[in-house]
Amino acid sequence: MELRARMVVEGFIAGMHKSPYHGFSVEFAEHRQYMPGDNIRDIDWKVYAKSDRYYIKQYEEETNLKAYMLLDCSASMKYSSGGAVKHDYAATLAAALSYMMLKQRDAVGLVTFDEAIRRYVPPRSKSGHLHVLLQEIANQKPSDKTDISSTLHEMAERIHRRGLIILFSDLLDDADKIISGLKHFRYRNHEIIVFHILDPRERDFAFPREAVFKDVETGEELTTLPWQIKKHYARLTQEFSDRIAAECRQSRIDYHLIDTSVPFDIALYAFLSKRERLY
């Protein structure tokens, strides 16, 4: 998991340096761009070799930002139509963001949940904390039913100091309850990013023939011809995501609907944009 997280982040950073967004603030806290008058002995030549840009080593005090990763580990997250499993995608994204934030001296915590909180790792900013987080993420396997709102409400009550809440979930639960839980965080003055993670087939319902659909949390089965219900399914799922998105906008919550075929860069851009606005 640590190797995967590092590869995602370093690949993303390298891409940023080559893109029109190279001026965006993606450099880790221990570096800043070289300015005339800086001591050349402070230049990080390893960074120069990788990016062809001059950066100064910088040792800053720890920031006041505390981030909490809320990772959905319910049974619905183990679905895959052939590509990445939703849980694996969410776990890798959570690991990459943890890696990135700890490199920027942010404090990061982790909450894994299904119908209740499984594990809570309080936020820390020390470099050794990364191994703790990634080991915990790697050990989690999706199972049991979903109850997103109970976790949201419980954590909103437990976290007293203003922080950044990052939710990774397929949101396959009651919309009213999810919205209520998210608004509870906003009432407590927390900042929130929601990564709504779905499988591509959950979005386009492109199943070619008669199929049996099984609810992995209840065991209920339904045999149907997908083409007959595709249009109705698409309308309902679009209404669901549109409602969540609208409520998030109204409450100033960052909402991002992504599927497991989307590069991690999209989510990392969204995170960096949010972090820039917090400083």
Query: Is the model's pTM score more than 0.85?
Result: no
Q: How far apart are CA 27 and CA 161, in angstroms?
A: 26
Return the pLDDT at 58: 55
Instruction: Pull the structure tokens for residue 178.
Output: 């999810």
Q: In 56-84, which positions are buried (b, 16+ CB within 10 angstroms) versus exposed (e)? A: beeeeeebebbbbbbbbbbbbbebbbeeb
Instruction: Pull the structure tokens for residue 28.
Output: 């880790």
Helices (H), the chain: 2-18, 45-51, 86-103, 129-139, 148-158, 175-187, 200-204, 226-250, 264-278
Instruction: Pull the structure tokens for residue 252.
Output: 């100033």
Return the pLDDT at 25: 41
Domains and CATH numbers, the chain: 2-57 (no CATH), 66-278 (3.40.50.410)
Return the pLDDT at 258: 95
Instruction: Pull the structure tokens for residue 15.
Output: 């891409």
**DSSP type of residue 128:** T
CB 67 within 8 Å of CB 101: yes
State how far the alpha carbon of 155 is from the alpha carbons of 63, 87, 110, 166, 181, in Å: 22, 21, 11, 12, 9
- The series of mean pLDDT values per 10 residues for the chain, 279 residues long, is 85 61 42 71 78 68 75 96 94 94 89 95 90 94 92 95 95 96 96 96 91 89 92 95 97 95 89 76
Return the pLDDT at 180: 97
Return the pLDDT at 43: 80
- Phi, psi for 193 (deg, rounded to 5): -125, 130
Q: How far apart are CA 4 and CA 264, in angstroms?
A: 12
Instruction: Pull the structure tokens for residue 74.
Output: 């319910």
Q: How far apart are CA 87 and CA 68, in angstroms?
A: 17
Q: How far apart are CA 69 and CA 254, in angstroms?
A: 14
Return the pLDDT at 279: 60
CB 122 within 8 Å of CB 224: no
Return the pLDDT at 217: 86
